[in-house]
Amino acid sequence: MDLFGFYRILSYGWGGYDGYYSGTASRMNGGYTLLLIAALAIMLLGIFAQARVQKVFNQYSQIPSSGGRTAAQVANDLLRSNGSAVSVQQIQGALTDNYNPKAGAVSLSQTVYGSSSIAAIAVAAHECGHVMQYESGYGLIKLRNAILPVANIGARFSYLIVIIGLLMGAMGHTVCMIGVALFGFALAFQLLTLPVELDASNRALNMLTAGGYITGNAEENAARKVLRAAAFTYLVAVLSSAISFLRLLMIANSNRRR
C-alpha cells in the first residue's frame, strides 16, 4: 500500500480505497462529503461563538453593576451565604475562570477578579453555581464525572484504535468499533456538559438577583446575555463531537464491507 492509498483509507475508509468506483463507495463518499461540509460549518460556528463570547464580555465589562462589589467579593459572599468553605483566588489569563473541586477553589481570571462589571460578576456567579452543583449532589454532574476517565481515553486514543482496526482489514472491525464506542463516551461527556453549564448559569442568575447584586431587568438581561454567549460554545462542542463520532462510525462500517 502506498502513501496515497493510506491517506485514502483515512479519508474515505476501506470502501473508498479498494472499491472507490463501486456504488457502495460512491454512497460512502457522498456521506463523507456531507460530514466534511458539516465539519467546516461547525468550525466556522466555533469561531463565531468564541468571537461572540469575547464581544459580549467586553461590552458588559464596561457596565458596572448596581451593587458595586467586585467579582471576587460577590463570589465570596455567594459561597459563604450558601455555607460553602470553597476559597476564591485569582489566576492568570482572560476568561480562564473555573472551579476546581479537588483544590476546593474558584479561580477567577485577571479580567474578572477585581472588576465590578455585570460581565465579571456573572462569570464569578457561574463558577459559584458549579460549587453549588457539587455540594448539593447534582445528578448530572455526578454522572458526567463518573464517565470522565473513559471519556478522556476515548478523546485521546479512539482515532488511533480505529486506524489500527483499519490496518487489520475485515477482522479489525471489532477493534474499530471499540474505538468508536470509546469516543462515544467523549460525546456523552460533551452532551452532559451542556445541561450542567446551563444549570450553573441558572443558579448564578438566581443567586445574583436574590442577593441584590444585580437589580432591574436591564442588568438581569445583560448578565443572561453573557452567560448565554458562553453556553453557546458548549453547544458547538457537542456538535463537533457528534460529527467526529459519525465519521469514526462510517470508517468502522466501511472496514466491515471490505
- Which sequence positions are flagged as catalytic? 127
Cα–Cα distance for residue pair 65/55, rounded to 1 Å? 18
Residue 128 forms part of a structural domain:
no
Positive or negative CA dihedral for 48, 50, 51, 52? positive
What pTM does this model have? 0.84
Residue 79 forms part of a structural domain:
no
Please tell me the total count of domains within the chain. Answer: 1
Cα–Cα distance for residue pair 128/211, rounded to 1 Å? 13
Dump pLDDT digits (tens) for 45-85. Answer: 999 999 999 999 999 999 999 889 999 999 999 999 999 99
Radius of gyration of the chain (CA): 23
> In terms of Cα–Cα distance, which of 117, 71, 118 is closest to 90?
71
118-149 as b/e: b if 16+ CB within 10 A: bbbbbbbbbbbbbbbbbeeebeebeebeebee
**Region of poorest pLDDT, from 6-10, 105-109, 118-122:** 6-10
Averaged pLDDT for residues 87-110 = 95
Residue owning grid cell 437589580:
215
Q: What pLDDT score does 37 carry?
A: 87
Residue 132 forms part of a structural domain:
no
Residue 32 forms part of a structural domain:
yes
Is a pLDDT exceeding 60 seen at residue 198?
A: yes
Residue 211 forms part of a structural domain:
yes
Q: What are phi and psi of 95, to 5 degrees?
A: 55, 40
Averaged pLDDT for residues 9-32 = 48
**Listed ranges 32-36, 107-111, 167-171, 212-216; the one with the highest mean pLDDT:** 107-111
Q: Do 106 and 90 meet the contact criterion of CB atoms below 8 Å apart?
A: no
Structural domain of 203: 3-64+137-256
Residue 107 forms part of a structural domain:
no
Is a pLDDT exceeding 60 seen at residue 206?
A: yes
Cα–Cα distance for residue pair 145/134, rounded to 1 Å? 10
Give residue 192's pLDDT band: very low, low, confident or very high (50, 70, 90): very high
Q: What pLDDT score does 34 carry?
A: 82
Is a pLDDT exceeding 90 seen at residue 33?
A: no
Residue 94 forms part of a structural domain:
no
Cα–Cα distance for residue pair 123/42, rounded to 1 Å? 25
* CA distances for 13 relative to 19, 36, 49, angstroms: 10, 14, 32
Cell of residue 56, nine digits: 459580549
Percentage, residues of the chain above pLDDT 70? 86
Residue 52 forms part of a structural domain:
yes
Averaged pLDDT for residues 185-194 = 96
Complete edge-to-edge strand list for the sheet that includes strand 105-109: 87-91, 105-109, 98-100
Cα–Cα distance for residue pair 134/138, rounded to 1 Å? 6
Q: What pLDDT score does 18 carry?
A: 45
Is a pLDDT exceeding 50 seen at residue 5?
A: no
225-257 as b/e: b if 16+ CB within 10 A: bbbebbbbbbbbbbbbbebbbbbbbbbbbbbee
